[in-house]
Amino acid sequence: MHNKTAVISGATKGLGRAIAEIFAQNGFDLCVCARTEADLEAMERDWVQQFPQQKLHVFAADVSKKSEVLEFGAFVRNTFKHLDVLVNNAGVFMPGKISEEPSGTLETQIETNLYSAYHLTRSLLPMMIPQGRGHIFNLCSIASFMAYPNGGSYSISKFALLGFSKVLREEMKPKGLKVTSIMPGAAWSDSWAGVDLPYERLMQATDVAKAIWGCYDMSDAAVVEELILRPQLGDL
């Protein structure tokens, strides 16, 4: 009996790391990517200690570059014979106003937050569709359905990611694959590093990971299409 398998982009820190850990705790082998070799090596060392029974396969990729996303997809296809879960988590947050943000801000966030998920999903669907089952999670945001101050191009990219996720849900529905859009509000991650707020004001990364596991751990008859999570005291 083979272990179940999951692919997570941007998995060395924050939400991605918490998601990776909850799947490993539940017996999954993982393929993950991140930009920084040193972070991946540190994660590998931690895995040997924390999850000695689970295989962790790491790949350095800048997901804003299509060629590197496709290389990661090929790595996954060469590593795993089957794929149960894909988590499109990698993203970048560059606050600003549309009228004031530097030229290139939109392109950077669209490439990282939208195109990476599009290309990685397309690369791995040929593994998943023949199985007739599997689950794809897209890490959207509350910025996917509401405008907020200084959201700028980030919000545009996240609106687009939710659109991608909705279309994918409809396409995969008859094929037995589940698609879930996760829309968290503020949770502690690199994006919020150094913010002067009480620790309990923001959600924990593990809260989002638990929610994702809850969405996964259901019968084949049920799918959570969209899930909104917010700090108890609301948006910042």
Strands 56-60 and 134-139: unpaired
Q: Which of 139, 156, 137 is nearest to 147 (CA)?
A: 156
Distance CA 133, CA 116 (A): 22
Q: Could you confirm whether 154 is annotated as catalytic? A: yes
**Active-site position among 66, 97, 154, 173:** 154
Q: Which two tokens stand for residue 184?
A: 């968290």
Q: Could you confirm whether 158 is annotated as catalytic? A: yes
Q: Which two tokens stand for residue 16?
A: 């991605």
**Active-site position among 158, 166, 178, 216:** 158
SS3 173: helix
Q: Which of 135, 221, 123, 207 is nearest to 172 (CA)?
A: 135
Please list the active-site residues.
Answer: 154, 158
